[in-house]
Amino acid sequence: REKISSALVHIIRNAVDHGIENIEERERMGKAPMGLIRLNFNNRDGHLVISVEDDGAGIDKSAVLKSAKENNILKKPAEEYTEDEIMNLLFASGVSTTEIPNDYSGRGVGMDVIHHNITSLGGSIKISSNFGYGTKVVMTF
Instruction: Please give the pLDDT value at position 110.
Output: 79
3-state helix, strand, coil in the chain (%, to 5): 40, 20, 40
pLDDT tens digits, the chain, 141 residues: what are they?
889 999 999 999 999 988 999 999 999 999 999 999 999 999 999 999 999 999 999 999 999 999 999 999 999 999 999 999 999 999 999 898 876 655 655 554 579 999 999 999 999 999 999 999 999 999 999
Predicted local distance difference test score (pLDDT) of residue 84 = 97
Residues 6+ apart with CB under 8 A from 136: 51, 52, 53, 54, 127, 128, 129
Quickly count helices (H) and strands (E) in the chain.
5, 4
Q: Are 58 and 135 in contact (CB under 8 A)?
A: yes
Residue 108 has what pLDDT?
A: 47
| pLDDT of 102 | 59
- Per-residue pLDDT at 97: 83
Considering the entire predicted model, what is its pTM? 0.89
The single-letter DSSP state of residue 50 is E
Architecture of domain 2-140: 2-Layer Sandwich (3.30)
Q: What residue segments make up the domains of the chain, in order of their start?
A: 2-140
Q: Tell me how far apart the alpha carbons of residues 14 and 107 are, in angstroms, rounded to a whole number.
A: 12
Element housing 2 (H / E): helix 2-14
